[in-house]
Amino acid sequence: MRHVIVGSGPAGVVAAETIRKADPAAEITLLCGEAEAPYSRMAIPYFLKGDIDETGIRIRKDAGHYGRMGITLVQARARSVDTASRLVDLSNGRSLPYDRLLVATGSRPSREQIPGIDLPGVHTCWTLSDARAILARAGPGTRVVQMGAGFVGCIIMEGLLSRGVDLTILVRSGYMVRRMMNPTASGLIRRWSEAKGVKVLTRTQPRALRANGGALQVDLGNGRTLPADMYLSVVGVDPDLEFLDGSGVKIGRGILVDEHLESSVPGVFAAGDVAESVDCLTGQRQVNAIQPNAVDQGRTAALNMAGRPTRFRGSLVFNVLTTVGLVSSSFGQWNGVAGGDWAEVLDESRYRYMNLQFDGGRLAGANCVGFSENIGALRGLIEGRLRLGAWKQRLLENPTLVMQAYLAASGGKV
Ligand SMILES: Cc1cc2nc3c(=O)[nH]c(=O)nc-3n(C[C@H](O)[C@H](O)[C@H](O)COP(=O)(O)OP(=O)(O)OC[C@H]3O[C@@H](n4cnc5c(N)ncnc54)[C@H](O)[C@@H]3O)c2cc1C
């Protein structure tokens, strides 16, 4: 059986290893699209901060690992796929035949459509090569203007500040991390960031970037400009799927997959940030772009590819974010369900906040700031759809009792 895996992020690597364990005789080829040994994007913030070096960012630290597992790494990109003759065309001119194909190509940064976005000094922060370029420019006093304060925009701030840069964040909407935090939680994260020396300009979006000597000028409209030595564009991601044009693989916000993570074309599977699967709470289709989901889907897709039918039960939307040391988290239906009860507790001076959203007698979602100790309990209650019984009323009165509620509910003592 010939397995070709396109993409060597966490989904692709775990899939390759899982196939090998399930089928010692299979031929496994892993395409690395960035001319790098497989690495984890999630480690980039720690690399920027200097906590780890380039070895630490690799998914498997031992360079001989893949060879020993009989996984062939090919440094090339997939250019197109002919699903009728089961062939992948590569950027190096070769074609690879496959019996099973896994698409694990993740996503790529969205591109701002403004004049000057291609100027030197403009970067995004998605790949290891982006991180190297940022580190080469960022030093004490470097004026960095960053467009975007989503998950990635927030999680890289600490690394940038640790280099001594002068950081200004532009936020198109009124709120930082608005796709995972309600306005109260977002407001705390903003105040915290400002207290750490970050300038945050909300409802602000650049019109253009201009070269200004060796530096940049960020045009904010109405005659306002900001000088910058580096402009970071972190405004979200799009799927990276042009190479599937004409393949017959159906695509929505990502590759549409069934419960076995197989696409509309038999023999072609998808996993990770590129796959549009289902939410385990709502059953609604979604792209859940987090590493634990990529790993879980990589493993499940691989078992199916190796002939061991395995259902993907859906994934929970949850994010744990550290913004310059402040831990926040969001889970499931954090913005509530129609007619659902909710409860919250706020201590502004200590940057602590917890908001719980209920769906009948169960917890459906949560937002937390400054409460890192309850993350496992919240996830367990929400993902496990545990009945709270009398604990619902207690949580409505005091949301911080989630650990006790989880212990009771998971032990059937409600
Ligand atoms: C700075 C940063 C911080 C993050 N922090 C967290 C975090 O704290 N927690 C969390 O859960 N998630 C985090 N994420 C998100 C997480 O990294 C992704 O969810 C995860 O990497 C998805 O894994 P994947 O294997 O699906 O895709 P990716 O890791 O994106 O890997 C896709 C691979 O496919 C390759 N590829 C693309 N196109 C082709 C092609 N045509 N041919 C061959 N190869 C191709 C790419 O080069 C890449 O190697 C972070 C992301 C970033 C950028």
Q: What is the pLDDT of residues 295-312, one digit of tens each?
A: 999 999 999 999 999 999
Range in 143-147, 150-154, 212-216 with the lowest mean pLDDT:
212-216
Closest residue (by CA) to atom 8 of ligand 1?
42
- How many Cβ atoms sit within 10 Å of the Cβ of residue 291? 16
- Grade residue 348 by pLDDT with cuts at 50, 70 and 90: very high
Say what the pLDDT of residue 412 is.
Answer: 80
Ligand 1 pocket, 33 CB below 6 A? yes
Work out the percent of the chain whose per-residue pLDDT is above 70: 100
Q: Is 268 helix (H, G, I), strand (E, B) or coil?
A: strand
- Residue 11 Cα to ligand 1 midpoint, Å, equals 8
Say what the pLDDT of residue 411 is.
Answer: 86
Instruction: Give the pLDDT mean for 336-357.
Output: 97
- Residue 169 Cα to ligand 1 midpoint, Å, equals 23
Closest residue (by CA) to atom 5 of ligand 1?
42
Q: pTM value?
A: 0.96
Are 277 and 283 a contacting pair, CB within 8 Å? no
Q: Of 107, 25, 23, 39, give the one whose Cα is nearest residue 73.
A: 39
pLDDT, one tens digit per residue, over 90-110 is 999 999 999 999 999 999 999
- Grade residue 71 by pLDDT with cuts at 50, 70 and 90: very high
Residue whose tokens read 């590569």: 90
Are 228 and 218 a contacting pair, CB within 8 Å? yes
Closest residue (by CA) to atom 29 of ligand 1?
9
Which ligand 1 atom sits nearest the alpha carbon of residue 131? 1
Instruction: Give the pLDDT mean for 234-260.
Output: 95
In order of 105, 275, 394, the CA distances from 66 in angstroms are: 19, 25, 51
Range in 126-130, 240-244, 361-365 with the lowest mean pLDDT:
240-244
Ligand 1 pocket, 31 CB below 6 A? yes
Instruction: Give the pLDDT mean for 198-206.
Output: 96
Ligand 1 pocket, 42 CB below 6 A? yes
Q: Of 297, 289, 290, 295, give the one whose Cα is nearest residue 263.
A: 297
Ligand 1 pocket, 165 CB below 6 A? no
- Grade residue 240 by pLDDT with cuts at 50, 70 and 90: confident
Say what the pLDDT of residue 414 is.
Answer: 76
pLDDT at 239 over 90: no
Ligand 1 pocket, 239 CB below 6 A? no
Cα-flanking dihedrals φ and ψ of residue 86, to 5°? 55, 60
In order of 108, 144, 154, 167, the CA distances from 327 in angstroms are: 26, 23, 11, 20
Which ligand 1 atom sits nearest the alpha carbon of residue 156? 1
Q: Which of 5, 96, 105, 107 to mutate to test the pocket of ligand 1 (most atoms within 8 A of CB)?
A: 105
- How many Cβ atoms sit within 10 Å of the Cβ of residue 83? 20
Ligand 1 pocket, 109 CB below 6 A? no
Ligand 1 pocket, 290 CB below 6 A? yes
Closest residue (by CA) to atom 27 of ligand 1?
106
Q: Of 231, 209, 214, 12, give the one whose Cα is nearest residue 101.
A: 12
Ligand 1 pocket, 272 CB below 6 A? yes
The residues pairing with 357 across neighbouring beta strands, listed in sequence order, are 342, 365
Ligand 1 pocket, 11 CB below 6 A? yes
Ligand 1 pocket, 399 CB below 6 A? no
Say what the pLDDT of residue 63 is.
Answer: 84
- Residue 183 Cα to ligand 1 midpoint, Å, equals 28
Say what the pLDDT of residue 413 is.
Answer: 78
Say what the pLDDT of residue 304 is.
Answer: 98
The residues pairing with 103 across neighbouring beta strands, listed in sequence order, are 6, 270
